[in-house]
Amino acid sequence: MSVDTKIAFDQEYIKAYSEKRQEPKWMAALRLKALEKSENLPMPKPDKTKIDKWNFTSFKHDVAGEAISSLDDLPEDVRDLVAKDQESGNLLVHRNSTPVFNQLSNELKEQGVIFTDIQTALQNHGDLVEKYFMKDVMKVDENRLTAVHAALLNSGTFLYVPRNVEVEVPIQALYWQEDPEAGLFNHVIIVAEDNSSVTYVENFLSYGHDVESVANIIAEVHVGQNARVTFGSVDNLAKGVTTYVNRRANVARDGKVDWALAQMNDGNTVSTNTTHLIGDGSYADSKTVTIGRGSQSQNFTNQIFHHGQNSEGVLLVHGVQKDSASAIFNGVTKIEHGAKKSNGEQTQRVLMMNEKARGDANPILLIDEDDVMAGHAASVGKVDPIQLYYLQSRGISRQEAERLIIHGFLAPVINELPIEGVRKRAVEVTEGKVN
Amino acid sequence: MAASTLKIENLHVSIEGKEIIKGLNLEINGGEIHAVMGPNGTGKSTLASAIMGHPKYKITEGSVFLDNEDVLEMEVDERAKAGLFLAMQYPSEVSGVTNADFLRSAINARREEGDEISLMKFIKKLDGKMAELDMGEEFAQRYLNEGFSGGEKKRNEILQLMMLEPKIAVLDEIDSGLDIDALKVVSKGVNAMRNENFGCLIITHYQRLLNYITPDKVHVMMQGRIVKSGGAELAQRLEAEGYDWIKEELGIKDETVGQEA
C-alpha cells in the first residue's frame, strides 16, 4: 500500500489562511504557487531510508494556542527550558505555532535588532522578509515537502542583526506543540549582516506519544562578511510526529557559523544540516548528537560545501542507537573547483547499545580541487563490554555504566551547546532516553 | 569493621574453552598482603580477572567466597559493592566521563539513595588522595584514563583504590611500565592503605615492587596453580636466583599453562 502524500488543502483554504494572517500579497502568491508545485514535485529521497510509509499528511494545520499573561503560565517543563539569569531576556515562545510571548531587550531594539515571530515579521517587515524568504539559501521547489512547507507555513521566527551589531546575550525561541495533533510548519530566518554576531537557540517540544502529526521545519541562516552565527537546537518532538527538517546557512567572506544540534526526537525524522561556505576564508563547524530509541527510523545528512578559497569546515556527529532504532548518518564534504586551500574535516561516530539497533555512517568526500586538505573518520560500533566491565568493577551498576558511557559519548557535542539551560536540557533529554 | 577473608578453593578457570587455572587455593585475610609471582603465561592475570568477574573468563569449578558471600554468584558491580577491588593491568578509557564524576558515581553506588557523599567532602577527599599520589589537579577533570600514559593509568587505579577503600584489593601488574619514581608513589599509596582490615593480593613478575611493599606471604604460580608459598624471603630468593630452582625442585619443564608436571 502506498500512502497518499498529497495534502488536503486547496487554493481557497490557503488564500483565506494568508488573509487571516494579514500577510503581504507576495506571501499569499508564494503560498499558492508552492501549493500548486507541491502536487507535481517528487518527495525527498533520503539516502538509504525509506520514507514512503511515513505520515506526512495526517495533522491539524491551524490550531490556536492559548495566550499566556506571563511565563509563569507555562507548564514547569516548558518554563524550565527558558534561559535564566544573565542569559535571559530575549525570548519568543510559540504554543501550537501561535506566538504567545515575545521579549527583546530595549538595548537590542535600539541597535536595530529585529526578533519576532514570522507572522509579525511578514506584517511589519514584509520587504525585508521577502528579500530572504526561500531565495538564496532554500528554494520552494526543492521537493514536495519544501513546497508544502511554504504553502502551509504556520510558525516561525525572524531574527535580523544589523551591521556591526554584536548580540552578546543568546536569543532563544521555544516551539511548544501542546496539542499532539498540531502540525508544525516552522520557518526561521536569521540574517546576520556584515561584522555582526548572534547566538540563536531553539527548542522543539511536544507530547502525546503515539498521536500522529507532522513537523516540517526550515531554518535559513544568512551569515554576512566577517559575521558570526551560533545556532543551537534541542529537538524533542514526540514519537508520533514525523519530522522533516532542513537547517541551512550561506556564509560570506570570513563569516563563521557554528551549529550545535541535539536531535532528540522520538519519531521518524529526516534531518539535513547544510552549510555553503561561499566567501573566501569562511568557516563552518557543525556538531550533532542524537539518540535513537524504540523503533524509530532516522536519517541525518550533515554537509558542508566549500565554494570560497581558504574555507574551512568541520563536521562532528555522534549518535547512539538503542532498542531497535535505526539511523543513517551521511556526512558530506564537498569542495568545489576553485576553492583552493580549503580544509574539510568530518567525523561521524555511532554507538549501538544492543543487537537490534542499527546505525550506518557514510562519509562522503567530493573534491573537485587539487590544492585542498580533507579528512574523514567514521566508526560504527557496539558498546564495549570491557568498558562496561571496568565501570562495573568499581561498583557501578550495568544501567548506570551504560548511562555514563552514553553521556560521555555525547559530551563532546552537548558541552558545546550555547546557553546553560539548553545544555542542561540536552543532558536531561539524554537522561530520559537512556533509562 | 571487622577484617574480611577472601577464600579461593579449587578454582578452575577457562577462556574460550581453554583451561588456564587448574585447581587454585588461596586465602587472604584482612591485614595481610599477599604477592603472587611467576613467569609469563602461568595464569596470574587470569586469577585477577576471574575474581572480579571479567566477561571472557568462565569458572568451571571451585569457589570464591568473601566472608560468607559467594562471589561467583554475584554480578561484577555486586562484587565491588561487597568489598572487592581490582586494579587492572589495562584500564579502559571512557571518553566524556571525567575522573571526578566517575569516582563520585562509584562512591555513591556503595551508598544508599539519599545518603550520597556531599560534594565538599568528596572534593576534599579526592584532593587529598591525589596529592598523596603526586597527581596534578587537572586529573580530576580529565576524561577517565583517556590519553593517560601507562604510568598515569596505574596511578589512577591506585587513586580509585584509595577513594573506594575496599576490603580486599587485587593489584594486577600495577608495577608494569612504571619508572622508579612512579613505582615509589604507587607503593606509597598501597602502603597508606595498609591496616588490619585491608587485605591485598599483588600480582607481579618482578620482585622490584616488593622492595617497597613488603608482603606477608609470597606465592609462586606455574601451570595455573600455586606451586610454592612462603614469606617475603621467598621473593628475595626468586629475585636472586630466578624460577629455575623451583621448576627443578618440582620437576617442571615448562611452567606455562597447558603443560603438565
Nearest to A131 by CA among A273, A24, A284: A24
- In sign, the C-alpha dihedral spanning A175, A324, A273, A6 is negative
Q: Are B96 and A386 within 8 A, CB to CB?
A: no
Q: Which three cell numbers stand for residue B44?
A: 596470574
**pLDDT at A299 exceeding the cut of 80:** yes
DSSP-assigned beta bridge partners for residue A351: A320, A381
pLDDT tens digit sequence for A286-297: 999 999 999 999
Q: Is the CB of residue A330 less than 8 Å from the CB of residue A364? A: yes
CA-based nearest distance B95→chain A, Å? 5
Q: For the residues A109-116, what does the mean pLDDT come to?
A: 98
pLDDT-derived band of residue A4, with 50, 70 and 90 as boundaries? low
Q: What is the pLDDT of residue A257?
A: 98
Q: Is the CB of residue A277 less than 8 Å from the CB of residue A284? A: yes
pLDDT tens digit sequence for B116-139: 999 999 999 999 999 999 999 999
**pLDDT at A2 exceeding the cut of 50:** no
**pLDDT at A420 exceeding the cut of 80:** no
Contacts of A390 in chain B (CB under 8 A): 88, 91-92, 94
pLDDT tens digit sequence for A305-332: 999 999 999 999 999 999 999 999 999 9
Q: Which has more confidence, B49 or A414? A: B49
Q: For the residues B40-55, what does the mean pLDDT come to?
A: 95
Nearest chain B residue to A413, by CA: B96
Q: Is the CB of residue A355 less than 8 Å from the CB of residue A370? A: no
CA-based nearest distance B233→chain A, Å? 33
Given the DSSP bridges, would you call strands A171-177 and A197-206 parallel, antiparallel or unpaired?
parallel
Q: Is the CB of residue A118 less than 8 Å from the CB of residue A154? A: no
Cross-chain CB nearest to B106 (options A385, A395, A409): A395
pLDDT tens digit sequence for B82-95: 999 999 999 999 99
Instruction: Determine whether domain B5-93+150-250 maps to CATH 2.40.160.40.
Output: no
Residue ranges covered by each domain of chain B:
5-93+150-250
- Mean pLDDT over the full length of chain A: 94
* Interface A-B: count of C-beta contacts within 8 A: 83
Contacts of B76 in chain A (CB under 8 A): 389, 392-393
Distance CA A313, CA A344 (A): 5
Beta strands in A82-236 (DSSP E): 91-95, 98-103, 114-117, 155-161, 171-177, 184-192, 197-206, 213-223, 228-236
pLDDT tens digit sequence for A48-104: 999 999 999 999 999 999 999 888 999 988 888 887 766 668 999 999 999 999 999
Contacts of B93 in chain A (CB under 8 A): 387
The DSSP output letter for A369 is -
Q: Please name the residues in contact with B205: beta carbons below 8 A apart, sequence gap of 6 or more.
A: B37, B38, B39, B40, B173, B176
Q: Could you count the other beta carbons within 10 Å of the beta carbon of residue A319?
A: 26
Q: What is the pLDDT of residue B40?
A: 87
The DSSP output letter for A324 is T
Q: Name the phi and psi angles at A433, rounded to 5.
A: -85, -20
Cross-chain CB nearest to B109 (options A385, A390, A400): A400
Q: Which three cell numbers stand for residue A412?
A: 563532546
Q: What is the pLDDT of residue A86?
A: 61
Cross-chain CB nearest to A387 (options B80, B94, B110): B94
Distance CA A425, CA A414 (A): 10
Distance CA A214, CA B221 (A): 67
Q: Please name the residues in contact with A230: beta carbons below 8 A apart, sequence gap of 6 or more.
A: A198, A199, A200, A257, A258, A260, A418
Contacts of A395 in chain B (CB under 8 A): 77, 80-81, 106, 109-110, 164
DSSP string, B69-122: EEGGGS-HHHHHHHTEEEE-SSPPPEEEEEHHHHHHHHHHHTS-TT-PPPHHHH
Q: Please name the residues in contact with B86: beta carbons below 8 A apart, sequence gap of 6 or more.
A: A393, B48, B49, B51, B52, B169, B170, B172
Mutate one of B92, B158, B161 to test the A interface: name it (highest A CB count within 10 A): B92
Mutate one of B105, B141, B170 to test the A interface: name it (highest A CB count within 10 A): B105
Q: Are A396 and B81 within 8 A, CB to CB?
A: no
Q: What is the pLDDT of residue A413?
A: 81
A316 reaches B (C-beta below 8 A): no
pLDDT-derived band of residue A424, with 50, 70 and 90 as boundaries? confident
Number of domains in chain A: 1
Q: For the residues A265-275, what does the mean pLDDT come to?
A: 97
pLDDT-derived band of residue A201, with 50, 70 and 90 as boundaries? very high
pLDDT-derived band of residue A431, with 50, 70 and 90 as boundaries? confident
Q: What is the pLDDT of residue A11?
A: 95
Q: Are A404 and B97 within 8 A, CB to CB?
A: yes
Q: Are A393 and B110 within 8 A, CB to CB?
A: no
Nearest to A142 by CA among A244, A11, A241, A259: A244
In Å, how far from its chain's centre is CA A222? Answer: 15
Q: Is the CB of residue B82 less than 8 Å from the CB of residue B74? A: yes
Q: Which three cell numbers stand for residue A59?
A: 495533522
pLDDT-derived band of residue B70, with 50, 70 and 90 as boundaries? very high
Given the DSSP bridges, would you call strands A283-292 and A312-321 parallel, antiparallel or unpaired?
parallel
- Mean pLDDT over the full length of chain B: 94
Distance CA A86, CA A420 (A): 10
**pLDDT at A409 exceeding the cut of 80:** yes
Nearest to B29 by CA among B65, B1, B3: B3
Q: CA A192, A193, A199: angle at the middle one, nearest 5? A: 25
Q: Is the CB of residue A78 less than 8 Å from the CB of residue A72? A: no
Q: Could you say which residues from 360 to 419 on chain A have a Cβ atom under 8 Å away from some Cβ of chain B?
A: 384-387, 389-398, 400-401, 404-405, 407-412
Distance CA A105, CA B101 (A): 38
Q: Are B91 and A398 within 8 A, CB to CB?
A: no
CA-based nearest distance B161→chain A, Å? 9
- Tracing cell 519544501 back to the chain, one arrives at A146
Given the DSSP bridges, would you call strands A343-352 and A312-321 parallel, antiparallel or unpaired?
parallel
A6 lies in some domain = no
Residues in B whose CB is inside 8 Å of some CB of A read 52-55, 75-77, 79-81, 85-86, 88, 91-97, 101-102, 105-106, 109-110, 143-144, 160, 164
Cross-chain CB nearest to B86 (options A393, A400, A405): A393
Nearest to A390 by CA among B15, B78, B92: B92
In Å, how far from its chain's centre is CA B18? Answer: 23
Percent of chain A scoring above 70 in pLDDT? 97
10 Å CB burial of residue A40 (0-12, 13-18, 19+) is exposed
Given the DSSP bridges, would you call strands B18-29 and B5-15 parallel, antiparallel or unpaired?
antiparallel
Q: Which has more confidence, A352 or A415? A: A352
A423 lies in some domain = no
Q: For the residues A169-186, what does the mean pLDDT come to?
A: 95
Q: For the residues A359-388, what does the mean pLDDT come to?
A: 94
Distance CA A119, CA A98 (A): 9
Q: Name the phi and psi angles at A320, rounded to 5.
A: -110, 135
pLDDT-derived band of residue B261, with 50, 70 and 90 as boundaries? very low
pLDDT tens digit sequence for A225-252: 999 999 999 999 999 999 999 999 999 9
Q: What is the pLDDT of residue B88?
A: 96
pLDDT tens digit sequence for A22-57: 999 999 999 999 999 999 999 999 989 999 999 999
Q: Is the CB of residue A230 less than 8 Å from the CB of residue A202? A: no
Q: What is the pLDDT of residue A402?
A: 93
Query: Which amino acid would we find at residue A222?
Result: H
pLDDT tens digit sequence for A126-156: 999 999 999 999 999 999 999 999 999 999 9
Q: What is the pLDDT of residue A3?
A: 52
Residues of the domain holding A110:
11-383
DSSP string, A260-273: EEEE--SS-EEEEE
Contacts of B92 in chain A (CB under 8 A): 384, 386-387, 389-391
